[in-house]
């Protein structure tokens, strides 16, 4: 399964890439579905399912409490990248 999220317009111009794999700490904006236009940071990534959890995106349970709602990675736009990882930084900055 392919796993990636599109970059915002300013990040596309800066890194000359259309998309990249989302990572914990990236800031995203949800562009499709029930939680459209919500912005937040990625708190968890499930590569096997191709989903991410965004802080503040929860659903009420029937018995009380809340649960995180997984969002498909293609339904979010990355607005800011977490550049703590040197390998990611090199890959994005060196790419053609």
Domain 5-94, CATH class in plain words? mainly beta
Query: Does the predicted TM-score (pTM) go above 0.85?
Result: yes
Round to whole Å and give the CA distance between 68 and 73: 15
pLDDT at 89: 87
Domain ranges, ordered by start, for the chain: 5-94
pLDDT at 94: 73
pLDDT at 60: 94
Gap between the terminal Cα atoms of the chain: 24
pLDDT at 9: 95
> For the chain, which ranges sit under pLDDT 70?
1, 95-96
Q: Which residue has the tokens 């000359």?
A: 16
């Amino acid at each position: 399964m392919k796993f990636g999220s599109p970059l915002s317009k300013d990040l596309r111009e800066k890194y000359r890439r259309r998309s990249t794999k989302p990572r914990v700490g990236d800031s995203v904006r949800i562009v499709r579905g029930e939680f459209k236009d919500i912005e937040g940071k990625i708190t968890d990534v499930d590569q096997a399912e191709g989903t991410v959890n965004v802080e503040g995106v929860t659903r009420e349970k029937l018995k009380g409490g809340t649960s995180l709602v997984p969002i498909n990675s293609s339904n979010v736009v990355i607005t800011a990248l977490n550049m703590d990882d040197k390998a990611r930084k090199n890959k994005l900055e060196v790419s053609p």
